[in-house]
Amino acid sequence: MKAPSDYERLCGTVPAGLRTRGDMAIDANDEVIYFSVTGPDTAQLSDGQTLQQAYGPRNLGAGPSGLRRMNLRTGEVKIVCNVGFQIGHVQTNPVAPGEIIFCWETGGKAPQRTWFVNGDGTGLRPLYPEAPYEWVTHEAAFNRDEVAIALTWNRRPGVPGDWGIAGTPEHPTGLGIVNLRTQEMRIAGQVPPGDPGRSNWHVAGSLDGRWAAFDDFQYRLWLIDRRTGETVLLADLGHKTTASDHIHPTFSLDSTRIQVQCAMLAPDHRALDICVVPVPKSWLDRTYPARLVP
């Protein structure tokens, strides 16, 4: 290893009066970084936005906040948008430059979790317009046209919850995939009925569009063949449920492996390691009838 200065460079400085929150993503063209901010400069809300108060028992989510873009070559900072709520995760389309996916962060259920905006500030809209009974979380952009979302269930019907009526299996739950162009949403797969994992939690899709993956409430990894709908338990990762974070799957660029984090190898059962789980060769070798091939 060399000195940090051999690897680091200063790309720009955030203007005075703005506070960064740490949520950021580099554009697909590697020329721009988008990041969330708070401060007086975010008070002028973008068209269609209204100021929101804190939501839910964790008393989070109040606005305003905003997105900014920095040119990584010149350091120039420009406004993307200002919204009436607290911005959480910021992601970019991994293939198409100039497209941002972000969320309203409340620490749980949000009235409208997922959002989309172009890098120039146009096209601000809900990514998946959700109903009050839906608990949408952990959006993941994974190819040019699609974003995966988790529609979870975490309480049984009739059991009171602190977050209102959301999060029961009376309505569709599972791994949803939203098409950015048509705004169509399809459920790709679910935890099988009666399985102790109960609900999907963190979701991912493959760049080639063949696979989707998710973890469940028992820290296990599931794989979906999107062309057939088959869903299989891929790994239980040693039944280690003591880590300080979740498996959180992500596909490799060649769509043949899944990266996860887990405590399976940690002597203290808590330290997280980055592990790779291969997509089974029998699945990679699959052929499909013509009607199932896009």
Please state the rounded mean pLDDT for residues 178-187.
97
**Using CA atoms, how far apart are residues 255 and 207, in angstroms rounded to an integer?**
6
Per the domain annotation, does 165 fall within a domain?
Answer: no
For residue 28, the enclosing domain spans 17-127
In the chain, the number of structural domains is 1
Per the domain annotation, does 193 fall within a domain?
Answer: no
pLDDT score of 21: 84
In this predicted structure, the answer to whether residue 119 has a pLDDT above a threshold of 70 is yes
In this predicted structure, the answer to whether residue 73 has a pLDDT above a threshold of 80 is yes
pLDDT score of 294: 60
Please state the rounded mean pLDDT for residues 63-68.
98
Per the domain annotation, does 244 fall within a domain?
Answer: no
**Using CA atoms, how far apart are residues 238 and 182, in angstroms rounded to an integer?**
40
Under a CB-based contact definition with an 8 Å cutoff, are residues 82 and 45 in contact?
Answer: yes
**Using CA atoms, how far apart are residues 42 and 64, in angstroms rounded to an integer?**
6
Under a CB-based contact definition with an 8 Å cutoff, are residues 40 and 12 in contact?
Answer: no
Per the domain annotation, does 60 fall within a domain?
Answer: yes
In this predicted structure, the answer to whether residue 257 has a pLDDT above a threshold of 90 is yes
The fraction of the chain above a pLDDT of 90, given in percent, is 82
Helix (H, G, I), strand (E, B) or coil at 4: helix
pLDDT score of 41: 93
- The encoded tokens of residue 200 equal 């999907």
Torsion angles phi and psi, residue 41, rounded to 5: -65, -15
Distances (CA, A) of 158 to 174, 192, 194: 20, 22, 18
Per the domain annotation, does 66 fall within a domain?
Answer: yes
| Mean pLDDT, all residues of the chain | 94
Per the domain annotation, does 29 fall within a domain?
Answer: yes
**Using CA atoms, how far apart are residues 113 and 136, in angstroms rounded to an integer?**
6
Please state the rounded mean pLDDT for residues 196-201.
92
Please state the rounded mean pLDDT for residues 88-116.
97
What pLDDT digit, counting tens, does each position of 120-133 carry? 999 999 999 999 99
- The encoded tokens of residue 103 equal 């969320």
What pLDDT digit, counting tens, does each position of 19-55 carry? 998 899 999 999 999 999 999 999 999 999 999 999 9
- pTM for the whole structure: 0.94
Please state the rounded mean pLDDT for residues 53-80.
97
In this predicted structure, the answer to whether residue 293 has a pLDDT above a threshold of 70 is no
In this predicted structure, the answer to whether residue 101 has a pLDDT above a threshold of 70 is yes
Please state the rounded mean pLDDT for residues 106-115.
97
Rg of the chain taking only CA atoms, in angstroms: 20
Per the domain annotation, does 97 fall within a domain?
Answer: yes
Given pLDDT bands bounded at 50, 70 and 90, which one contains residue 219? confident
**Using CA atoms, how far apart are residues 26 and 29, in angstroms rounded to an integer?**
8
In this predicted structure, the answer to whether residue 264 has a pLDDT above a threshold of 90 is no
In this predicted structure, the answer to whether residue 159 has a pLDDT above a threshold of 90 is no
pLDDT score of 246: 82
The strand ranges marked E within the chain are: 19-26, 32-38, 62-71, 77-85, 87-92, 99-104, 114-118, 125-126, 136-141, 146-151, 174-179, 185-189, 200-205, 211-216, 221-225, 231-235, 250-251, 257-262, 273-278
64 prior amide bond cis, ω within 30:
yes
If you search the block for the tokens 């769509």, which residue do you land on? 255
Per the domain annotation, does 215 fall within a domain?
Answer: no
In this predicted structure, the answer to whether residue 115 has a pLDDT above a threshold of 70 is yes
